[in-house]
Structure 1
């Protein structure tokens, strides 16, 4: 009797096991990519009546990227650190005195399809000098905000972004388009900029930036252009290597 019951249960369970074997395994909702990114930066600028400066440095960041199979975008979370050094030369009449610049910039950033944001701080002996007493800046906050798709039209608000915190940081408000070239890897940005330090009524200028993304990194060039002869100006270049873009 016991043998008959065992055989019956086996026959009943066999179709169920076969059905479970045919069921597809659950698929992951997203895939993750963790990469280390290495960057090189350079910047130079001039503030008429105050000083001129030049600096360069390196950056290291860890980027976590989530790729969703049912979406046409990726989500990134980045934690990084930049360090840099340079020289500032004060312009006071016919005399010119210089002193070294140096800074450390920890930052964090998150970017999705329609929005992105980054926060950080520059700490060190910075080129952020005030007109009252020409006192050196020791701490400069860093901000970046984006609204809109990176591969299309989007708006940008930044302060002391990338490597600009070592010089004369600008508050930038602009618009950009990131879908140029057949592969959509060229990004152009233009807007208005307000300098941290400038002669009276010379604070506002314009800026332009161009960036190109590749298979193993990206690079770019930005210009802060004065709209008056005595306005502050800045030029910068950056290169980032590591991970697909």
Structure 2
């Protein structure tokens, strides 16, 4: 009787174990890639100056891929180097611009953030009577998925720190054409602007192909005395399929 009871108990344990669904394995894999970028920008502040610049960027991105999740997490360390020219400067006249931008960034499914600093000869960012810019912070914050609707807050992000950086507050949608096209828009607040022209608008677009990512933005002048700026970005390396 005892042997029969033990046998039935063993059979019931085996049957229940076979009936339970298999649980997916947990864990992650890590991928390190080198990112190479090229940047350019041009802009003007009426009655103050015009400027243009170009540069390159190198970054090391560590991407964690989770086996039980449909998203990745990125940690990036990078450095941007730019040079350009300021024309008709009120404070210091025409001058050569240059800047270095070390930064760190983290990006997950629903959030992203970046912090850094621009250092160098950055031009006449402030009103007349102030010294040209030498050191300014760089930041970026995102809330929402890159492949859908998300909000953005940025200042001197990417290459914008080299010339009259804008504080951007807006949103974007990244779900066009199988998440390869992203479009965004919002408010632009330039560091230096004419009185009454402190707030503008901007628009941006980004597209990802099998070999590169391309991005461009524009802050159009809303009046004859309004600030304006345009820029572009090309990035190679570590593209997700």
One of 48, 59, 62 as aligned partner of 1:61: 59
1:236 counterpart = 2:231:
yes
Number of the residue aligned with 1:12: none
Give the aligned partner of residue 190 of structure 1.
185
- 1:202-239 Cα distance to aligned partner (Å, 9 max, x none): 11100011001223331111001222221100000110
Alpha-carbon distance between aligned partners in 2 of 1:82 and 1:213, rounded to the nearest angstrom: 21
Distance 2:172 2:25 in 1: 37
- Contact 1:146–1:156 under 8 Å retained in 2: yes
Structure 1 or 2, whichever has the larger Rg, is: 1
Equivalent residues of 2:89, 2:124 under 8 A apart: no
Partner residue, 2:4: none
The 3-state SS of whatever aligns with 2:41 is strand
Aligned partners of 2:134 and 2:124: how far apart in 1? 8
Contact 1:217-1:243 within 8 A present in 2 as well: no
Residues 1:206 and 2:204 are matched in the alignment: no
Structure 1 match to 2:34: 36
Q: 1:137 aligns to what SS in structure 2? A: coil
Q: Are 1:49 and 2:44 an aligned pair?
A: no
Q: Distance in 2 between matches of 1:128 and 1:187?
A: 32
Shift, 1:47, TM fit = 0.4
Q: Is the 8 A contact 2:122 2:163 kept in 1?
A: yes
Check the 8 A contact 1:216/1:243 in 2, yes or no: no
Gaps of 5+ in 1: 1-25
Please give the alpha-carbon distance, in whole angstroms, between the structure 2 residues aligned to 1:91 and 1:36.
37
- Specify which of 103, 107, 123 is matched with residue 107 of structure 1: 103
The residue aligned with 2:143 is 147
Residue number in structure 1 paired with 2:77: 79
Aligned length: 216
CA RMSD of aligned residues (A): 1.6
**TM-score, normalization: structure 2?**
0.86
